[in-house]
Amino acid sequence: MGYADTTLQKYDEAVDDEFERQLLHRSSTVTAQSPMWLCFLVGAILAWTLPGDHSLWSALLLLIPAASQVLGQNWLKRQTARARFIELSRTDWFLMTALILAWLAGLAFNYWDGSIAAATGGLVGSLAGGGLALWLGPKAQRKRRMQDIARINAGLDD
């Protein structure tokens, strides 16, 4: 039994019935989003407070929600088809944009040492990379879901 299955077993044993289990699942879904927002906030704070080149270390915080998502999605695909892409709300977009801009401003101030040319290059590169991820992410998730469904259906046909 792997880490994810052991964790699920512990949580299943912590509740008494299906209703509690369903609410625990819903609570865990809400909890799963919290690290992303916390990482954006702490990343912006660190980008402003870490001196010079050290401010770039704040980018390591992005590994936390990314690794969590990879682990969860890999477990899910072994059980069923992965979920559809979840669209962000307007509030989420606003908050995410504000935090990322604050983060990039901190990097521009500290890491790029106020150089307009370097900050512009970093900003353009960050926005291009982020835009590409926002464009390709939903497409890739839809494709993976279709592959999962095809794999499950092929297994049922046997």
pLDDT higher than 60, residue 158: no
How many degrees, rounded to 5, is the angle at CA 22 between CA 73 and CA 76? 15
Mean pLDDT of 34-60: 93
What domain range is 141 assigned to? 3-157
Report the pLDDT value the prediction gives residue 157, as an integer from 0 to 100. 65
Q: Please state the φ and ψ torsions of residue 88, each to the nearest 5 degrees.
A: -80, 145
Q: Give the integer Cα–Cα distance in Å for 153 and 156.
A: 5
Report the pLDDT value the prediction gives residue 143, as an integer from 0 to 100. 94
Report the pLDDT value the prediction gives residue 109, as an integer from 0 to 100. 87
pLDDT higher than 70, residue 71: yes
Domain count of the fold of the chain: 1
pLDDT in tens, 83-122: 888 888 999 999 999 999 999 889 888 887 767 887 788 8
Report the pLDDT value the prediction gives residue 116, as an integer from 0 to 100. 81
Q: Provide the 10 A C-beta neighbour count for residue 33.
A: 12
pLDDT higher than 90, residue 45: yes
pTM over 0.75: yes
Percent helix, percent strand, percent coil in the chain, to nearest 5 = 85, 0, 15
How many degrees, rounded to 5, is the angle at CA 78 between CA 72 and CA 84? 60
Percent of the chain topping pLDDT 70: 98
Q: What is the mean pLDDT of the chain?
A: 89
Question: Could you tell me the two tokens for 116?
Answer: 């307009």
Report the pLDDT value the prediction gives residue 43, as an integer from 0 to 100. 96
